[in-house]
Amino acid sequence: MIVVFVGPSLARARARDALPAADVRAPARRGDIAAAADDGAHTIVLIDGYLIHDYPPSPMEIHDVLRRGVRVIGTASLGALRAVELKPYGMVGAGWVYRQYAEGGVDRDDEVVVACDRRDGHAVTVPLINIRYGLQNLYWRRQLAPDQAAEAFARVSALYLEDRTTQTIRDELAPLLGEPTVEALLSPTYDIKAQDAIQTLMHVEYAR
């Protein structure tokens, strides 16, 4: 059995489409990884977990599951963070977000954290890591100058994570980048957390 913990990086319906055989569950809380192993999971994909309003799965919990021979893959969000921490113990990391943390290009946990609506769990803020990814790509495509990209990232980074809404980001960046560029930056094209999640789920059987 493959168990996936996901939301809000990727809607659970999209996760099921990407990996129909999986048991897709809500973001992981403390104890959920161990419970999935107890349920008989041979592979666990950790994408999302609670970081603000509840306790997330601890490194020790995941370490204990790895010792039981369960394959654990982390990507996109909390999964990427835990995969970096537990790589020496066999946890597998996947995706662009994971590589940024593993290579030291990103070291702040708040880049992947979002505030969520408590009613249905959807994200109400924009992950800073998506802004980083989008600005890098716009720079590489020569649509932004280096100083513009750096200033834009600094402005969003300075916002408290619960204030990083789409409207606040528009207000902060439109005078600097122009409205069309900001709308592109906020589009699904640069939703790297969702892209990492989908790609990982589509290639679970090949992740080693």
**Tens-place pLDDT, residues 177-198:** 999 999 999 999 999 999 999 9
pLDDT at 207 over 60: no
Find out whether the peptide bond into 88 is cis, omega within 30 degrees of 0. no
The lowest-confidence range among 17-26, 136-145, 149-158, 198-207 is 198-207
Asked whether residue 99 is assigned to any structural domain, the reply reads: yes
- In a shared domain, residues 169 and 200: no
Instruction: State residue 102's pLDDT score.
Output: 97
Q: Give the pair of three-digit tokens for residue 38.
A: 């107890």
Instruction: State residue 122's pLDDT score.
Output: 79
Mean pLDDT of 55-82: 96
Instruction: State residue 52's pLDDT score.
Output: 67
- In a shared domain, residues 79 and 32: yes
- Higher-pLDDT residue of 121 and 184 is 184
Instruction: State residue 124's pLDDT score.
Output: 87
Share of the chain above pLDDT 90, in %: 88
If one counts the domains in the chain, the total is 2
Taking only the tens place, the pLDDT of each residue in 98-107 is 999 999 999 9
Asked whether residue 149 is assigned to any structural domain, the reply reads: yes
Asked whether residue 120 is assigned to any structural domain, the reply reads: no
pLDDT at 85 over 60: yes
CA distances from residue 138 to 58, 76, 125, 180 in whole angstroms, order as listed: 36, 20, 21, 12
pLDDT band, residue 120 (cuts 50/70/90)? low
Helices 146-157, 128-140: axis angle to 10 degrees equals 180
The lowest-confidence range among 7-11, 14-18, 53-57 is 53-57
- Higher-pLDDT residue of 55 and 120 is 55
- In a shared domain, residues 95 and 164: no
Asked whether residue 113 is assigned to any structural domain, the reply reads: no
- In a shared domain, residues 14 and 66: yes
- In a shared domain, residues 79 and 137: no
Question: What's this model's pTM, rounded to 2 decimal places?
Answer: 0.94
